[in-house]
Amino acid sequence: MAGDIEEIKSKADIVQIISERIATKKAGKHYRALCPFHGEKTPSFMISPELQIYKCFGCGEGGDVITFLEKYEGMDFNEAILYLSERTGVKLERGAFQPKKEKEKIVEINALAEKYYHYILQNHSLGKDALLYLKEKRKITVNSIDKFGIGYSPQNQSLFENFFIKKKGIKQDDLVRSGICYERYGKCFDRFAGRIIFPLYDHRGNPVGFSGRLMPGVDRDAGKYINTPDTPAYHKSELLFGLNFVKDDIKKEGYAIITEGELDMISPWQRGVRNVIAIKGSALTDAHARLLSRFTQNLTLALDSDFAGNTAAKRGIETVQSMGFKVKVARLGKYKDPDEMAVDDIKKFSKSLSDAVPVYDFIIDSAFEKYDSEKIDGKVDISKEVVPFLSKINDEILKAYYVGLLSKKLQVPYDSVYAEVEKSKIGRITREDIKEERVRTDGKRELIEETLLLLTILRSAQEAGELKRYIKSIFAKRVLEELISYIKVKEFNVKLFADNLPTELKEKFREKYIANSIAYERSGDEKMANETEDLKRKLELIDISESQKGLIAKIKESESRGDKKDVKTLQKKLNELVDVKSKYFKPD
């Protein structure tokens, strides 16, 4: 089987697979794109046709075609292999492949459950009240009920058992694992009994779970809404309700409207506002943002009217902002949620979207509504609420604008507000900080050695042997050793070489290779040869400086011991070194 996978990987062209999903652009021998895994404005996502890998120099994501499908499409390893085997026509040996994964099994059970619930709602007498409620009270059309696969789970336990266990032969354990059921006293109970069912699809349209809204009048001591618990197929923090239906609408409109609940999504949708999705709960997560960034960088929040007081919601906004999203907020006025507003007056809802204000204005306004800005306590409270948001603005001009706005509204000096904003920044370590730190602590020698090694590989790997005396740092030395033994037995091929490197060297090598081949792409042979000599000379100089330092330390030691003879010998050596060093600075 391992052979099959290698064959599939080598036949699947990573450039093509990625380019079908995101816009890529050829740049020299690489392809460049805006990273689909983090928000960015200038492309740092590189695809190397040569190595058949991708690497983002912004967020660090990287891997081969299978990793990409796993991360981008949410496929598991098996799904990715099956998908690629179909694409490439490489047949997988029958039976050699693993049995269906847990996730697929759950999706299958869910698909069945979806049909069952939907049938009950539309055709069964037990679903009549729920159907009436949806159509009359909630103004949901039959078209929407079909489109979103809405259903109803009756409180009749035997109906459930007959269908799933007796008729369809599904094992109780599997029903429990899918989350549709829970187990009590060895028996299986319908988790969603008495609820209107909204299937939850992943962005590819697989039913991964359900959300159940209690029918009014049904007495149960559980929440109005419950969801499938997290399973291998369903992760609450990743799901965006409706996304599978409106991906293209979001791209077309250039932004996504974020709401909180299923009906907040469906109501505007069936009235023609299509680029709308719902998060499960009030907080946007990292995973939501990564998924959304494939479709847009612009979000308009249409959340329940009390969201400004919600810490989780605020944290969510900070998250997406720090990932480069532009966030606006629609004001719903007297309405408690988008559903209520859309049902009452869809034009008003559309207008609230076009009038949406940048999130900072919204935060400032809500704080001023909440506290009395005439009183000193009120000013402090307002500042406490607003400042953390402003401190996360990366654009200095934008930041200065809002600091100015806040100081004017609070009637306090600009500098004091600015100082508060800066103070709030301290203590937060960003990815940028870490990156910078890494650059700073990367030894100079290490970096030069690595560049020398990669440059040699780019020019002519066969000459690797000549580097032995220059390379001393751990990573470069180990790669060099691997390289020397590789070229002894076969002709150099960078992909095969990289693929066969020990795991701990592989990723760093690939990263360095791509970075250096981009850096030297436009350099001709001569320039690269000169650069090579230059780097060698730099390393020699570093060597000399290090020996010098060692000698000086020894001299000091001998002096303190009063060993004049020793001092003299050492001094002579030191002078010789100075001579050698000075030669490096003479013009040739």
For binding to Zn ion (CB under 5 A), which residues are involved? 35, 37-38, 56, 58-59
Nearer to Zn ion, 191 or 510 (CB): 510
Write down the least CB distance from residue 61 to Zn ion, Å: 5
Q: Which two tokens stand for residue 283?
A: 């907080």
Nearer to Zn ion, 23 or 218 (CB): 23
Write down the least CB distance from residue 323 to Zn ion, Å: 10
By C-alpha distance, which of 152, 299, 196, 181 is closest to 240? 299
Nearer to Zn ion, 45 or 360 (CB): 45
Whole-number Å distance between alpha carbons of 85 and 108: 22
232 close to 103: Cβ distance less than 8 angstroms: yes
- 258 CB-contact burial (10 Å; exposed 0-12 / middle 13-18 / buried 19+): buried
Q: Which residues, other chains included, contact 367 with Cβ-Cβ below 8 Å and sequence gap of 6+?
A: 381, 382, 385, 386
87 close to 96: Cβ distance less than 8 angstroms: no
Write down the least CB distance from residue 394 to Zn ion, Å: 16
Which residue bears the tokens 């000013």?
A: 379
Whole-number Å distance between alpha carbons of 514 and 54: 9
Which residue bears the tokens 């010098």?
A: 548
Write down the least CB distance from residue 431 to Zn ion, Å: 10
How open is the CA angle 167-173-179, to the nearest 5 degrees? 95
Q: Going by DSSP bridges, is the β-strand pair 298-301/326-329 parallel, antiparallel, or unpaired?
A: parallel
Whole-number Å distance between alpha carbons of 7 and 132: 56
Which residue bears the tokens 């032995």?
A: 468
DSSP 8-state secondary structure symbol assigned to residue 56: E
Nearer to Zn ion, 58 or 212 (CB): 58
573 close to 553: Cβ distance less than 8 angstroms: no
Write down the least CB distance from residue 328 to Zn ion, Å: 24
Nearer to Zn ion, 37 or 371 (CB): 37
Nearer to Zn ion, 15 or 59 (CB): 59
Nearer to Zn ion, 35 or 277 (CB): 35
Nearer to Zn ion, 430 or 462 (CB): 430
Helices (H), 222-285: 243-253, 262-270
Evaluated on CA atoms 171, 172, 177, 181, the torsion sign reads positive
Residue 484 one-letter amino acid: I
Write down the least CB distance from residue 316 to Zn ion, Å: 20
Write down the least CB distance from residue 370 to Zn ion, Å: 37
Nearer to Zn ion, 38 or 399 (CB): 38
Write down the least CB distance from residue 62 to Zn ion, Å: 9
Write down the least CB distance from residue 506 to Zn ion, Å: 19
Nearer to Zn ion, 58 or 268 (CB): 58
Write down the least CB distance from residue 310 to Zn ion, Å: 29
Residue 453 one-letter amino acid: L
Write down the least CB distance from residue 532 to Zn ion, Å: 31
Write down the least CB distance from residue 240 to Zn ion, Å: 20
In order, the DSSP letters of 118-187 are HHHHHH-GGGHHHHHIIIIIS---HHHHHHTT-EEE-S-HHHHHIIIIIIS---HHHHHHHTSEEEETTE
Nearer to Zn ion, 38 or 247 (CB): 38
Sheet containing 151-153, strands listed edge to edge, beginning at the edge strand earlier in sequence:
151-153, 195-201, 207-214, 225-227
Nearer to Zn ion, 37 or 497 (CB): 37
- What residues pair up with 152 in beta bridges, in sequence order? 196
Helices (H), 355-412: 359-370, 376-390, 396-410
Residue 8 one-letter amino acid: I
